[in-house]
Amino acid sequence: DKDRAEHRLTVDGVAAALAPWCESINVPDRPGVVALRNVIHLGTRITGTLGASAPASVLDLVAALHPTAAVGGQPSKQALSWLANHEGLDRGRYAGPVGWVNASGDGEWWVGIRSAEIDDTRAVLRAGCGIVTGSEPMAELAESQLKLQALLAALVRP
């Protein structure tokens, strides 16, 4: 279905970006379901062992992964050019990599597909949806609104 195809584009892109630096990489054939309190979405845990050709810093790997197809589109160069000319907003930290790394170089990273930037008494919430063949505009709008409601609920107490 549309959601699985959208997710697969991102998984394949991440695996392709990591493969040149990995002596082994594990990409599950099927996504799992990530169930949070307010939203359910697909998730695929991609793991690998870096090889001798890996960059010195994990941050170089993170840079090679950003932006993923989930937030930048495919094919990447053309999609990013289109977004730069048509999107009309500064994404700030939205859709950027979020994660951690320890002194041994081990770490985990995610794509910040939902975000809240808070400055004193003002918050800017961002959430998006994947537009692929078969997307229905009203369904995508409803999906974005649902994601934003989850962020809003975390910030505002009744």
CATH number for the domain spanning 96: value is 3.60.120.10
Q: What pTM was estimated for this model as a whole?
A: 0.79
Whole-number average pLDDT of the chain: 87
- According to the model, what pLDDT value does residue 88 have? 87
User: How much is the pLDDT for 62?
Assistant: 87
What pLDDT is recorded for position 131? Answer: 80
pLDDT for the residue numbered 28: 96
Tell me which residues of the chain have a pLDDT lower than 70: 56
Main-chain dihedrals φ then ψ at residue 154, nearest 5 degrees: -75, -25
Structural domain boundaries enclosing 145: 2-155
Tell me, what's the pLDDT at 44?
A: 94
Query: According to DSSP H, which parts of the chain are helical?
Result: 2-18, 58-65, 69-72, 76-86, 137-155
56 DSSP assignment: S
Domain count, the chain: 1
CA–CA gap between residue 140 and residue 128 (Å, rounded): 8
C-beta separation of 73 from 54 below 8 A: no
